[in-house]
Amino acid sequence: MSFTSVSEVNLDSRILEILIKRGIKEFNPVQTEAINKGLLNGSRLLVTSPTGSGKTLIAELGMLTHLLSEGGKAIYVTPLRALTAEKYRELKDWESLGFRVGITSGDYDSDDAWLKNYDIIITTYEKLDSLWRRNPSWIKDVNYFVLDEFHYINDGTRGPVVETVAMRASGKKLLALSATISNFERISKWLNANAVITNWRPVPLKEGVIYPERKKFVVLYNDGTKIELAGQDPILSYVNYMIEAGGQVLVFRNSRKNAETTARKIASFLPIRKELQEISEKISEVDDAGSKEKDDLTSIVKSGVAYHHAGLSRSLREIIESEFIKRKIKVIVATPTLAAGVNLPARGVIIGDMYRFNGKILGFQEEISVMEYKQMSGRAGRPGFDKEGESIIVVRDKKDVEKKMKKYILSPPEPIESRLGNEVAFYSFILGTLSSEGKMTYDSLSDFAHGSLLDSKLIESYLRQGVTWLEENGFIQGDEDDLSLTKFGKRVADIYINPFSAKVFKDYLPGRDISCNVAYLHLMAYTPDGPRIGVGRKERDELLDYVPCPLFIEEPEDEDEEYNYLSALKIAMITNDWIEEIDDDVILEKYNIGSGDLRTIVDTMDWLSYSAYNVASILEEVEHHNVLRKLNMRIKDGVKEELLEIIKIPGIGRKRGRLLFTNNIRKPEDVVMNPEKVKNLLGTNLGEKIVKEAARLISGIT
């Protein structure tokens, strides 16, 4: 593997200048190989290499060289919003060359016309797919695509969209970046791309297992070396060993409860450090988190330990990530989602569980995939800090050592396969394709579908069934020589909900009397796009007893459907408490959820209520539309109907809105007419800002 001096590569002098400012003097072996395979000449490439091997710089070189030589626009696509924000910060450097860098995610019902003025656009796969459905004029100018974390094509949820985006980028310049892909020959051929395949890492990775032996724990590495650790718990023993060696540790556990319990346990064995008081205070001052979460974290973070999972608020996660990068927090105990979410390397990674919980299979557990293991273990080794990274699997029985070593450490990840092979994914694919193309013959639709990774026989089966189902349910019209979306189908495609979700609204709203808010919220949450949440056995009867009115959907007899029904009912109750202005802490405690869960539920139900009232409008269900429209307005900010006027002012949320309303300031005009009163209630600086915003709002209305 060779390194190449940046001065030896035929780069535009402007690119070279920025690289030198960054302190980049040479290209590493992965980057060198990409350049040799045609990166700077616009060749389509599939680059697979470990985490931290410099793939982002490869993308930057590819995009910038292309834009400087050929013009147009470049789109950088990621699977997660957190990654989108991270890449946006990194790519802002290139604005010094005169290129405008923009970011967009969420708000699927928009063509983002403002992006016509941007040259480099960072977005998510779902957002790009939604943009193609709306077909804005500027998207025709995009002639370079970077598909990051491309192995997400194997993900059951996001995979179909990643595959669709790759198909639609056919014929354009393309750079797919991925962790190791075992069947790269097939995937590179499918992408019509040159393959750049390497296992080079900037920090070598040493992998192993830890298992009990007598009264100690043995760490056996893949190079055959061993160390022995004293202690009563393998995770505690390894964490202590790594911290004493001056390293940081990421511990992965398979559930939030296990992550939290493990973090507290580790913290109890480590000394409190005075210099961490500042982090503790930052956590306690966060606005978007529950009191219980903050109290718990402020306690353990003083020992340099934190836990991290999707149940925490965004602000809490950002503080934990930032302080870990600064090397103040020494240990993070996380659920596996962290491995794919943000760039947080540590000297040591310990994977505490090789199983995940799955309520749909007997025993509630299934082994994690090799790819998931590779994602977690790939976080080991901090470039610039560590000469070597270590990744350790906890094996609780010595008899399983060889099995775990062989399956996870010595084996490649699972081959990438299409995830379009189910009705929900494929029918949505058909809908999106017709939305993008306008009109198609059945044969042209079939030709496009055969450009996927799915087996040809399955494509024909799903395509025939899908077109028939979409016609029967009013989404598409015409014959095999002239297929197009109906007005209903086009609206469903634009708002980016699954056709099966739209069918739920279409089946249950027409001809039904208006019901209470919980009934509508339950209907939304019951759709395939609705959020899912665990329901304990004790909760079942309590939930059913709380139902305040007849629901649109009757309780099913099927066990699986009953689970979805009760999950939707719990989501409906949570959302209803939210719009009734129940305090966040009360909601979190009552339903045993985290502040991050609440935010996710609110965001999803905001989108679904928007979708529902749009579907009701197309169906000309005026009364249902009016109820759903008002619900949508309330869900966004979590307010009663009486606050809808005052929260129109930017910067006024549920708490400030209630404070102003209680003091007889109930609409924007009241704010403008009572500036001193507003300042007294909200504070001088914020009050002045709110008065100005109210004045702008009024002038805009009038």
- Closest to 653 (Cα-Cα) out of 639, 642, 665: 639
In angstroms, rounded to a whole number, what is the distance separating the alpha carbons of residues 515 and 529?
22
In angstroms, rounded to a whole number, what is the distance separating the alpha carbons of residues 658 and 581?
9
* Helix/strand/coil (H/E/C) assignment for every residue in 136-189: CHHHHHEEEEEECCHHHHHCCCCHHHHHHHHHHCCCCEEEEEECCCCCHHHHHH
What are 355's strand-pairing partners? 367
> According to DSSP H, which parts of 480-594 are helical?
487-495, 499-508, 517-526, 537-546, 559-579, 584-591
DSSP 8-state assignment for residue 346: B
Torsion angles phi and psi, residue 602, rounded to 5: -60, -45
H or E segment at 476?
strand 476-477
Torsion angles phi and psi, residue 35, rounded to 5: -65, -40
Q: Is 685 exposed, middle or buried (0-12, 13-18, 19+ CB in 10 A)?
A: exposed
DSSP 8-state assignment for residue 413: P
What are 178's strand-pairing partners? 48
Helix 675-682 and helix 684-701, axial crossing angle in degrees, nearest 10:
130
In angstroms, rounded to a whole number, what is the distance separating the alpha carbons of residues 399 and 393?
14
What are 229's strand-pairing partners? 217
In angstroms, rounded to a whole number, what is the distance separating the alpha carbons of residues 200 and 261?
36
Is residue 465 a known part of a binding site?
no
**β-pair type (73-78, 120-124):** parallel
Cβ neighbours for 13, distance < 8 A, ≥ 6 positions apart: none
Torsion angles phi and psi, residue 221, rounded to 5: -95, 160
Write out the binding residues.
31
Q: Residues annotated as binding site for ATP?
A: 31
